[in-house]
Structure 1
Amino acid sequence: MAEVLFYHLTESRLEEALPELLERSLARGWRVVVQTASEERRDALDHHLWTFRDDAFLPHGTDAESNGALQPILLTVSDDQAVNQPHVRFMVDGAVPASLSGYERGVYLFDGHDMEQVSAARLRWTAEKAAGHTVTYWQQTEDRRWVKKA
């Protein structure tokens, strides 16, 4: 069973929080897939990860390219197992995976100011817990640190 984390964004946007979490995953030696709800969001994140900070580089690609299996971070709209054999799967904007079976970790990031995303995260919490995964809930503090709440 996977460890499933729910990150409740209250103080920053996804574009601010995701790169740091991806850096932490790569530092652990994990391969990553980021599932988005639309091709437009995937492409916007693709562009953002190249430019989010002058002193950083996050090696990544998208499922629109032919070399996805080689990517340490793969951005996708697919809910299937990714071709890059990831250890961790991030889901953003309400994206839902076919299954988290085979992953070490699943991470749902949701915007606390978007009630649709909050409601979707609550449903996913119930589903992931019922599937037997270990679930934890993390919320941002005012200084944008993560605090485990449940």
Structure 2
Amino acid sequence: METRVDFYVLAEGARLNRERLICRLAGKAYAHGKRVYIHTGMNEEAMRLDDLLWTFEDIGFLPHERAEEAPDPDTPILIGCGTEPPQTATILITTAHPVPAFIKRYERVFEVVDQDPERLKRSRQRYREYQARGLSPHKHDITGGDITGAQVTGGHDSGF
């Protein structure tokens, strides 16, 4: 199985911010029955995403736990920072730099990039690192708030 890497690049002025797009991607994967591991580079970001996943949906929440808290193995979305990722997830959403060593465990890897100059610079480095590992990252430009046309489902919109 070759890991597919997708970069979702938020345009300047996009209605979504980076963390909300991460939640949307996790929600879409969850809706398709996939397990997700969100790997952050900083504990503060993991805490913000933890809070946001509880309030992100208007009529519900996305079920999740922090990986550091000995989660239930059936939890569909885990958030971790510096922890060994679970073996059960098939989708990795990463905000960490550099590229995690464990990416090949996953069917899909999602990177979310905004226009912050430092994050943009690091994302370009990670893009090149994926290429150096023999992977061919796919880039999706996000200009509004809708990700349905961004091929979050593997090159076509039929599901993860």
Question: Scaled by the length of structure 2, what TM-score is found?
Answer: 0.81
SS in 2 for 1:145: coil
SS in 1 for 2:89: coil
Q: Distance in 2 between matches of 1:137 and 1:22?
A: 18
Q: Which residue of 1 aligns with 2:120?
A: 118
Q: CA deviation at 1:86?
A: 0.7
Counterpart check, 1:55 vs 2:56: no
SS in 1 for 2:37: strand
Q: Distance in 2 between matches of 1:24 and 1:53?
A: 12
Q: CA deviation at 1:85?
A: 1.5
Letter of the 1:76 partner, please give it: G
- The ranges of structure 1 where at least 4 consecutive aligned residues each deviate by more than 3 angstroms after the TM superposition are 93-96, 145-148
Q: CA RMSD in A?
A: 2.0
Q: Which residue of 2 aligns with 1:144?
A: 145
Contact 1:74 1:84 in 2 (8 A): no
Q: Which residue of 2 aligns with 1:35?
A: 39
SS in 2 for 1:134: coil
Unpaired runs of at least 5, structure 2: 151-160
Question: Aligned pair in 2 of structure 1 residues 109, 85: CA closer, same or farther (>3 Å)?
Answer: same
Q: Distance in 2 between matches of 1:115 and 1:132?
A: 26
Q: CA deviation at 1:94?
A: 4.2
**Corresponding residue pairs, total:** 145
Unpaired runs of at least 5, structure 1: none
Question: Aligned pair in 2 of structure 1 residues 139, 100: CA closer, same or farther (>3 Å)?
Answer: same
Q: Distance in 1 between matches of 2:146 and 2:57?
A: 19
SS in 2 for 1:97: coil
After superposition, give the CA deviation of every residue in 1:66-94 in whole Å (9 maximum; x if it has no partner): 125332100001264x1252101001264
Letter of the 2:136 partner, please give it: T
Counterpart check, 1:23 vs 2:27: yes
Q: Distance in 1 between matches of 2:76 and 2:120?
A: 29
SS in 2 for 1:35: strand
Contact 1:94 1:110 in 2 (8 A): no
Counterpart check, 1:135 vs 2:137: yes
Contact 1:68 1:84 in 2 (8 A): no
Q: Distance in 1 between matches of 2:64 and 2:10?
A: 23
Q: Which residue of 2 aligns with 1:74?
A: 78
Q: Which residue of 2 aligns with 1:83?
A: 86
SS in 1 for 2:100: coil
Q: Which residue of 2 aligns with 1:92?
A: 95
Point out the structure with the larger strand share.
Answer: 1
Contact 2:98 2:126 in 1 (8 A): no
Q: 1:44 aligns with which of 27, 42, 48?
A: 48
Question: Scaled by the length of structure 1, what TM-score is found?
Answer: 0.85
